Structure 1
Amino acid sequence: MTGARIGFIGLGNMGGRIARRIVDSGHEVLGYDLSAEAIGAAGATDAGTVSALVSGSDVVLMSLPDSKVVERVVFGEGGLLVATRPGQVVVDLSTAAPESTRKIAARLADDGISYLDAGVSGGAAAAEKGSLTLMVGGDGAALERIDELLRSFATQIFHIGESGAGHTTKLLNNFLNAVALAATAETMVAAKAAGLDLAMVLDVFNASSGVNFATLNRFPKIITGDYLEGGLSNSLMLKDVTLYVELLGQLGVASLNSTGPIASFGLARALGYADAISNTVVDALGDISGGIRLADDKEEGRS
């Protein structure tokens, strides 16, 4: 991808960090975001409009909140379709509904454009380090063409299958993430209420069958008051779990374990943590359990 012109739409918590990695790898990036500050922080050049960005790019990456926003960017007035041309590659890094993804891919394919759905895993910390995992659906040849670009921010890239397969796998992964986070938060609030040494409890979990991503990577920080700001919010986590349930309904698969994370992240949103990082679900559970906080001084370690 040497010499390729790169455009990036959506420079928020994840998109901004990914774009910065691309810039630091030596690419110039045209950016579009509602926040001029976000464009500057990512090291991108402000394209001004979506159509101008697409006109000036060979590869367009998007990191947007949901399928409704993605479809508005693609199909809306002054959107992506106005300026696309054959041979371009569009990479959707959003967590989106696979059905919508396949619809967009089919429409862009009519114009000779490759649309790759690339689910992202690893969070803000991995984005900053360039060590994200990508699960990609769509044309394998197009994926191979942009491999060098993707390696600027991802260390593991899995070509899952046809269009929609990447976003499907992302929803499955995010559901497991949501279950682990919500369940671990509940057990840690209980450990605090029981007067246990929280660091020791995590050591036990991580040496036992309860080990998961949250026990290994989230709660060792959370118990010190560091909530690892910059990751997925409670509202977005709830959105992802809801998309998962909708997907299973379309597949005819029973979802018997979704009520826990839906209740947990729904509670967090209702109690005022909607836009806070999803790790604060532990505070929402603590709120309804007598005001429990894992850290002795919650604010001390937060950025």
Structure 2
Amino acid sequence: MTHGARPVGFIGLGNMGGRMARRLRDAGVDVLGFDPRAGVAEEIGVRAATSSGAVFADASIVLLSLPDDNVVRSVMTDPAVREELRADHLVIDLSTSAPEVSQQLATEVAARGARFLDAGISGGAAAAEAGTLTIMIGGDAADVQRAEPVFAPFASRVIHCGPSGAGHTVKLLNNFLNAVTLSATAEVMVAAKKAGLDLATVLEVINASSGVSFASQKRFPAIIQGDYLEGGLTNTLMLKDVALYLSMLSSLGVASLNAPGPVASFGLARSLGYADRISNTVVDAIGDVSGGIRLHEPTPSEDGTP
């Protein structure tokens, strides 16, 4: 799989970015990656750039997978990046950014003759590794078509949601539902444990009934076995996404009556020491304030005791 003589640039090689970059590499794509942490590109097995500007100097398609839109903006306003920005550049923001930031950056990039897509992703670390992510995109249809071969190694669904900003708008809507169902299911499972119920049986009922969700189907069958599916969105980032959602609703003039639950739940997780742990550990935070409840009690062989 080639993209002419130029590599595909990838800035941000963290939990999700690193997995997507590796999928591209495994598909035969020449990936030029940059991450401020030394040695990360080499660990992933992609060519290492010395800076974001160096990525833009060599690649015409550049993917961004960064913690928030402040970091996205800092990359795109870096003087070295601005100096290298050319008319043939297509910048694809895979981060979770505020839609208005995406729209502003698209306008600024277009003024230089280049193109910008906001491309929210969903599916988590497991989907990134399997190449089955869903991508929701805002921007011009021709730019989406140009990007599709780059998405193919790590995404099974690419959905063009509308003009600039639409991709990250849909992403925030989806992430809010994710936050609600994850935190609510965590609460329910702690209650089920404290009630003395068999958790696998509870999940069987939920997944065959009206309470079913991605959390109950894809997350909690592993969590009740002690596997928190590490590598995905942290509690801090989940709370950040909910805050972005609330800001968006405020600008739209829409009341948010369901936000207190996830705000309290992921805020609790942060305050109890789970800030940088995967958001699935919200169940342990709820368990902590509910009598020290854990869904899975390690066996002696699991915790290393004789």
- TM above 0.5, yes or no, is yes
Cα deviations by residue, 1:222-279 (Å, 9 ceiling, x for unpaired): 0010000000000000000000000000001000000100000000000000000000
Secondary structure at the aligned position of 2:39 is classed as helix
Superposition TM-score, scaled by structure 2 size = 0.96
CA distance in 2, matches of 1:32, 1:132: 22
What is aligned with 1:254? 255
Query: Offset of 1:38 from its aligned partner?
Result: 2.0
What is aligned with 1:266? 267
What is aligned with 1:167? 168
Query: Offset of 1:76 from its aligned partner?
Result: 2.8
What is aligned with 1:13? 15
CA distance in 2, matches of 1:39, 1:131: 22
CA distance in 1, matches of 2:116, 2:56: 13
- Structure 2 residue 74 is matched with structure 1 residue 59: no
Secondary structure at the aligned position of 1:125 is classed as helix
Aligned residues of 1:36 and 1:46 also touching (Cα < 8 A): no
Structure 2 unaligned spans of 5+: none
CA distance in 2, matches of 1:270, 1:134: 32
What is aligned with 2:41? 39
CA distance in 2, matches of 1:5, 1:46: 12
Cα deviations by residue, 1:32-83 (Å, 9 ceiling, x for unpaired): 10123321222211110111110100100000011111110111343x2221
Cα deviations by residue, 1:163-208 (Å, 9 ceiling, x for unpaired): 0000000000000000000000000000000000000000000000
Root-mean-square deviation over aligned CA pairs: 1.3
Secondary structure at the aligned position of 1:293 is classed as coil
Superposition TM-score, scaled by structure 1 size = 0.97
- Percent pairwise identity: 58
Equivalent AA in structure 2 for residue 215 of structure 1: S
Cα deviations by residue, 1:9-39 (Å, 9 ceiling, x for unpaired): 0000000000001111111111110123321
CA distance in 2, matches of 1:142, 1:208: 41
Equivalent AA in structure 2 for residue 28 of structure 1: D
Of 242-251 and 35-44, more deviation after overlay is shown by 35-44
Secondary structure at the aligned position of 1:36 is classed as coil
Equivalent AA in structure 2 for residue 76 of structure 1: D
What is aligned with 2:25? 23
CA distance in 2, matches of 1:142, 1:7: 16
Cα deviations by residue, 1:142-180 (Å, 9 ceiling, x for unpaired): 110121111111010000000000000000000000000
Secondary structure at the aligned position of 1:135 is classed as strand
Cα deviations by residue, 1:105-138 (Å, 9 ceiling, x for unpaired): 0000011111000000000000001110000000
What is aligned with 2:294? 293
Aligned pairs (5 A) from 1:230-245: 230-245=231-246
CA distance in 2, matches of 1:180, 1:194: 21
Of 229-238 and 1-10, more deviation after overlay is shown by 1-10
Query: Offset of 1:298 from its aligned partner?
Result: 8.6
Aligned pairs (5 A) from 1:69-108: 69-78=71-80, 80-108=81-109
CA distance in 1, matches of 2:230, 2:281: 10
Secondary structure at the aligned position of 1:157 is classed as strand
Aligned residues of 1:171 and 1:244 also touching (Cα < 8 A): yes
CA distance in 1, matches of 2:244, 2:8: 29
Equivalent AA in structure 2 for residue 228 of structure 1: L
Task: Give the number of equivalent residue pairs.
Answer: 300
